[in-house]
Structure formats: C-alpha cells, structure tokens
A and B are shown apart, each in its own frame.
Chain A
C-alpha cells in the first residue's frame, strides 16, 4: 500500500486546542505546582465480570496490595500512585473501549493488567493508536510473537511458549517419553499443542496423540478411547467449568487400574480447590505452576511478605475465606508489573503523558529483575526486543491434598530465539 496518510487533524484539533488553550492559560501556575504532587494514575483493565472474573478478583486484590506497598515506599518519583480499575467483561470489544476510557477519560498515565489473550489482542491496537503504554499480565505468546505493537509489553510474567518449553525436559526425564495431549480446540489449546510437541521432540520424546476437544463439549468420555495404550504421560490443559467433569470422567475411564502419568497446567484449576470432590484422581499427578499456590518449605522472605500483603494463607486461599482460592500461579504478575512501572517511570524521569514514550524506552532498556520484594515470584530476564519477561517455573505434585514443588526450571529452559524486534518499530 502506498500513499500518504490523510488526516483531518487540524480542523478538529484546532477547535479543541483553542478551547483547551484558554483554560490552560489561566491555570499555568497551578499546573506547574500540581505536576510534582499530582498522583500518577494507572489504569487497570480488569476482568471483573465474564469468564475471567475469578482471575480478575485476585488480580484486583494483588494490584491493590502492591499499590499499598508502593505508596508506603514513597510512590513513584515521590508522587502518590492511584489505580483506576475498569471492568472489561473479559470481552475484546469492551477491552478496547476500556483502554480508551482509562486513557482519554480517566486520564491515566498508562494501562496495565489484562490477562485473557483475546482481550489483549483486541485492545492492543487501540493502545498503539492512543500511544499509551499497555503492560499486560497475560502469559500469552502474542507479545513476543510480534503480532502487537511497540506500546504493548509483558514484563511481569513468562509467556506460554516459554512455560511449555520449560516443562519438556522434566516430563521427558521423569514422567515418560510418549505423551498424549488433551487440549481445548481453540487458540489457547493450539499454543500448548504446537509448543509442547516441538519441545518434546527436542528432548527426544514424542507426542503420540493429540486429542482436541471442541469448546462446546461438556462430556469427555467418548474421547478417552483415542488415548493410545502405550501412552506414558497424559498432558491436559482443559479449562473452564468442564474441568471437574473432565477429571472425574478420566478417573472413571481408568478406574483403579494402572494409568499413565498425568501432567497438567494449573490454569485448569486456578481458583479451584485441589481437594474438591471429584478431583481425587489427580492425586500423585504433576502441574505447572507459575508460582506455587501452597507455601513451600523453602519459601523466601519476599514470598512470605507478598503472601501476607495480598491476604493469602499457606494453602493458597484468602485469609478471610478458606473457600476462596487464589489464582496464585498468575496474579503475581500484576504485583511485579506495578514495580516495573515504578522503576521505568523513575528511570525515565516521568512527569506526565508527554513522557509516555520514555516509559516504553526505559522498559526496553531493562535486562533483568532480581528476586526481591518487587519480584517475589523469582528473578527474571527481560528481553527488550521482544518486550517479554522470562522467569523460573515450578512443577508441583499433588501429595496429601497439597501441591508440593518437585522441580524448578532453569531460566535457560524457557529461552527461544527472538521472533520480533519491537525496538526497530516506530512509535
């Protein structure tokens, strides 16, 4: 496509600027004073309703806890910080509208917090057009794949490609070489299918069967005969309310006889009690966890501090309601992202929306985050070119009704070649 973009900017902007200018003239002295003390406003795109609501509830609690710690520590550049939460209904259309609302109506300095991939992908174009930093907490590969834009970054959580790839060495060495994958037949499941199949092959293992379950399915028994008898490991990533049925029916299928090893992603059971009736079949099985839900024996002081600050007990439930299970494996990302924002704004000498580009450049210049109060999940490596963080992953085993860590990946397990260099793109 050629041709110079045509815009009608002068007409509309001239009028708006004229109106704004008159007001601004009168307010100059006050603004200069206010600039140094006005709160920094962070827009939080929250899945308060919709399919992501259980995640959203804990994302809000975690971000609020981080905000309290941040402000008690002096805020950002000496300025207090506010978070403006806005519900996106876990919907991509509404997501884009929320980015708009937070930026142009709530006057937020940047936007953060989105989890579900379709909401991120639906919202990121608008963030790019508005030229507002958009820091997602999604674990999707969409950022590092290069499909988004310079304004979208994911510094608080490892992406799914890295997570899945990091699991393959443990699975092939400890659980078995012949894997059958059972996954939902949409993009999330396809990511697991593609990344894990390749990662297992690289480890000398083999995915011998891929069973895609249509998203409308509510019963799974008829799929289980497709599991080859030589299967050593079943890798499952079912999500949503049907996961309880899935596990129950899988248990009924194998009965009390021998079964393959089970390996799953905790995404299936975030906000769900591992001791729920029907999940007994998971005893002895393994899970990926970004951050172990149950407090481990070797928990660091930062982990202990974080858990207490957010209000999570040693079993991964709310301290005020043991039945309210946290989305612990993911929610740390909002905490850590908030502290990345702090460091980026301070490094950039951020004073106001005119400096938004400097925030992106400051984050791109970051290379690693040490484990500490700002990064309780563990140390991370940040790739400024791909806008993606890499961290340590945990593999836990269900033992005695708890998830006990049996392995932690190395940072290198999750590395893969860059697929994009956002720093070469224009703002």
Chain B
C-alpha cells in the first residue's frame, strides 16, 4: 500500500487511539475500547451497505453468531478467547454466506425484509434454546474463557490493546479492500448493477463475497464483545443491533473507511451525554439523526468528501 495522505490519515487515527491508551481517563478508556469493538461491526456493515449497496436489516444475526459462538464455547466447552475469536469469525462468515445464498436472490425492500426475518428467526432461536443460552437473561463468560494465551481480556489495559489490535487490523483490511479492484467492483454494483453485469461481473458472486466479508467482521466483533465484556445475551442479537450499525454508518459516512468508527464514537457519546441530562434521550438521538438526514444525508465524512476531500476512501 502506497504511503499517501489517505493512508497517513488512517495511520494517524490508529496512532491517536494508541496514544489515547496512555492518557485517557478510566471511563473514556473503557468506552473507546468498547467503541472500537462496535466499530469493527459497523465497518462490516459498511462493506455490505456503504460499498456494495446491500441495505440489510439483519446484521444482528451475524453479530449474534459471533457472540454466541465465542460465548457458548467458553461457557459450555471451556473454550479460550483464541478459539472464541476464530469461532466467532467463522460463525459470522458462514452464517452470512448461507444467508446470502437465499437473501441475495432478492434486492431492495425485499432484501431488507428477508434479512430482517432471518435475524428475527436467529433471535428467537437464542430464546428457544434457553437451556443452553439462558435466553434473554444471557450468560456470564467465565474468566478462564476470557484468556487470550496469557492475555487476560478482563484486564482494562489488555482489553484496550487487544481491541485496538483487532480494530487496526480491521481498519487496514477495510482500507485495502476499498482501494483494491475488488472494492471498486463492489462500488460498481452499488452504483449500477446492470452496467457492471454488462462489463462481465457477476453481481451475485460479488455481493455474496461482500456479504460474507461483512459477516466475518460482524462475527469477529460479536465474539470480541462477548470475550472482552464477559456477557452474551439475546438482546445483543435483537433487531436493535441490526439498526445500530446502520445508524453508525449513516452518521459517520456510508462508503468511507473511517465513517463507521466516527459514527459509533459520536453515537455512543450522544447517548451517554443525552441520557445524563434528559429522560428523552432517545428523542435527542432521533432528532440528531433526522437533522443529519436533512442536512448531511451522506454522513459526516461523506459530506466532507463531497465538499473537497475527494481523496477520502
């Protein structure tokens, strides 16, 4: 990857996050670790939605697959964080691939509904197998299952650095993908599927690959969340968690590499701040999103790209 201003920007973000580790107050330190994990999820969503134009309402299925792959392994089979992360990655990717085989026969509104229904089925499956998952109550991941080799993910500092490492890898792979020929084909599918088909690309395989990569990101994020914060529960696989990454991406900027992180960051602190000053914090969040759609429909970075920063990937 050539060292240019786009790469420098992303490396700068990573350097800032690493520096934050050494100087952040405790509260914000844990928050940023959490945001980095959720941003991986949002990046995955962005690969499907922002780059490829697949508006899914079912990504909680992939996040939940990773969450429970890691969580149940640790809870029932004495799995460790290493196996949990790999299992989460694989579960997210496999479920996304399998879902894609069915759902990608549809497009547009039908795709949204099909993905939503599959995710709802996944959520109800978690409840149905309550004797293993403890359903809505969820399970606490045992301490031993949160060990990544000799790294204890329940330790604040270790957790931050592992979250940072995963986030950095996800960000750089995302950047590479966005600037690669494969990424440009994904964007072509989003912009004009018929013209792309005419040029010889198979829309189904391109979209299936994008959805699978998206699932890998989502599954990794779900597994990391379970292992780093010690909990897996059905609410994390509910429809709310299909909507959240969409909001993060819309806020930060769909089709930008840093947008999902920025969206997750701003949304987290918007909720955090609003809930400490008013009961109607959901109204505040909703109003902020309405204003965003009215005045910056391409999100923060999307708008910046439109207004001058054309090099922003």
Binding site for B on A (CB under 8 A): 1, 3-9, 11-13, 15-16, 48-49, 86-87, 89, 91-94, 96-97, 100-101, 104-105, 117-118, 121-122, 124-126, 129, 140, 142, 147-148, 185-188, 190, 214-216
Q: B139: which of A48, A86, A97, A121 is its contact (CB, 8 Å)?
A: A121
Closest approach, in angstroms, between the C-beta of B37 and any C-beta of chain A? 11
The answer, yes or no, to whether B106 is at the interface (CB within 8 Å) is: no
Number of A-B residue pairs, CB cutoff 8 Å, is 135
B26: chain A residues within 8 A (beta carbon): 104-105
Q: B272: which of A5, A101, A188 is its contact (CB, 8 Å)?
A: A101
In contact, A86 and B157 (Cβ under 8 angstroms): no
With A8-B161, A140-B137, A214-B124 given, name 12 new contacts (CB 8 A): A1-B147, A5-B155, A49-B279, A49-B282, A86-B275, A96-B231, A100-B31, A125-B230, A185-B127, A186-B130, A186-B234, A215-B136
In contact, A1 and B144 (Cβ under 8 angstroms): yes
Indicate the member of B34, B135, B234 with the most A CB atoms within 10 Å: B135
The answer, yes or no, to whether B118 is at the interface (CB within 8 Å) is: no
Among B12-43, those with CB < 8 Å from A are 21-23, 25-27, 30-31, 34
A12: chain B residues within 8 A (beta carbon): 21-22, 157
The answer, yes or no, to whether B141 is at the interface (CB within 8 Å) is: yes
Task: Report how far A142 CA is from B130 CA in the complex, Å.
Answer: 15
Given known A-B contacts A6-B152, A87-B281, A122-B231, A142 and B137 have beta carbons under 8 A apart: yes
Q: B152: which of A7, A86, A87, A148 is its contact (CB, 8 Å)?
A: A7
Closest approach, in angstroms, between the C-beta of B208 and any C-beta of chain A? 30
Q: Which 8 residue pairs of A and B lie closest in terms of their CB atoms, listed nearest first?
A: A125-B230, A5-B152, A187-B137, A105-B27, A104-B26, A3-B150, A104-B27, A1-B144
A187: chain B residues within 8 A (beta carbon): 130, 134-137
Task: Report how far A368 CA is from B161 CA in the complex, Å.
Answer: 45
Secondary structure at the B interface, as helix, strand, loop or mixed, is: helix
Closest approach, in angstroms, between the C-beta of B172 and any C-beta of chain A? 22
Task: Report how far A190 CA is from B236 CA in the complex, Å.
Answer: 20
In contact, A104 and B30 (Cβ under 8 angstroms): yes
The answer, yes or no, to whether B308 is at the interface (CB within 8 Å) is: no
Q: A118: which of B137, B152, B229, B275 is its contact (CB, 8 Å)?
A: B137
Query: Across the two chains, which residue of chain A brings its CB closest to B127?
Result: A186
B145: chain A residues within 8 A (beta carbon): 1
Task: Report how far A49 CA is from B157 CA in the complex, Å.
Answer: 32
Task: Report how far A105 CA is from B21 CA in the complex, Å.
Answer: 17
In contact, B140 and A92 (Cβ under 8 angstroms): no
Query: Across the two chains, which residue of chain B brings its CB closest to A6?
Result: B150
Task: Report how far A49 CA is from B272 CA in the complex, Å.
Answer: 14
Task: Report how far A11 CA is from B161 CA in the complex, Å.
Answer: 12
Task: Report how far A122 CA is from B231 CA in the complex, Å.
Answer: 6
In contact, A186 and B236 (Cβ under 8 angstroms): no
Q: Bits for B210-254, please: 1 = Cβ < 8 Å to A, else 0.
A: 000000000000000000011101111000000000000000000
Task: Report how far A100 CA is from B152 CA in the complex, Å.
Answer: 19
B22: chain A residues within 8 A (beta carbon): 11-12, 15
B191: chain A residues within 8 A (beta carbon): none
In contact, A121 and B155 (Cβ under 8 angstroms): no
The answer, yes or no, to whether B154 is at the interface (CB within 8 Å) is: yes
Closest approach, in angstroms, between the C-beta of B21 and any C-beta of chain A? 6
Given known A-B contacts A8-B161, A125-B231, A129-B156, A186 and B31 have beta carbons under 8 A apart: no
